[in-house]
């Protein structure tokens, strides 16, 4: 048997453990909050993110049409396949999709 006692953790190890614990608590809290929100609200939030992503690529100089097209197609996949399951915002999302498609066509026709 050794007379040596284990070394206490260093300050950096304690700080790292504390940071990891705090990060895990924050992640658990975020999961809990997201779980309390109706799914259609979270999906709408993501759909709006895709709309904004398409707009960002269209407004770039020069416009990044392939990237905008991908974002628009992803938005369309959500809006068109989910339809009224998106709740009362479904008509707004259909209008937003039509508008961003129209802008895309205008940019595409400019060459």
pLDDT tens by residue, 69-92: 999 999 999 999 999 999 999 999
Domain membership flag for residue 22: no
Distance linking the first and last C-alpha atoms of the chain: 80
Does 8 fall in a domain?
A: no
Q: Report yes or no on 58 lying in a domain.
A: yes
The pLDDT value recorded for residue 6 is 72
Task: Give the model confidence (pLDDT) of 9-50 as tens digits.
Answer: 666 666 777 888 888 899 989 889 888 999 999 999 999 999
In a domain, 30, yes or no: no
Let me know: does 85 contact 99? Beta carbons within 8 Å.
Answer: no
Question: What's the whole-number mean pLDDT along residues 39-65?
Answer: 96
- What total of structural domains would you count in the chain? 1
Asked if the structure places residue 6 within a domain, the reply is: no
Does some domain include residue 54? yes
What is the DSSP secondary-structure string of 43-65? HHHHHHHHHHHHHHHHHSSS--H
Residue 85 lies in a domain: yes
In a domain, 50, yes or no: yes
**Confidence at residue 62, expressed as pLDDT on a 0 to 100 scale:** 95
Containing structural domain, residue 56: 38-109
């Amino acid at each position: 048997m050794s007379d040596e006692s284990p070394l206490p953790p260093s300050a950096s190890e304690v700080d790292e453990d504390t940071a990891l614990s705090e990060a895990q608590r924050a992640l658990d809290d975020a999961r809990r909050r997201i779980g309390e929100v109706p799914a259609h609200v979270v999906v709408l939030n993501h759909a709006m993110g895709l709309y904004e992503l398409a707009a960002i690529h269209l407004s770039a100089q020069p416009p990044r049409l392939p990237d905008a097209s991908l974002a628009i197609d992803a938005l369309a996949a959500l809006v068109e396949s989910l339809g009224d399951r998106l709740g009362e915002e479904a008509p707004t999302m259909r209008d937003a999709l039509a508008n961003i498609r129209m802008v895309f066509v205008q940019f595409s026709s400019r060459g």
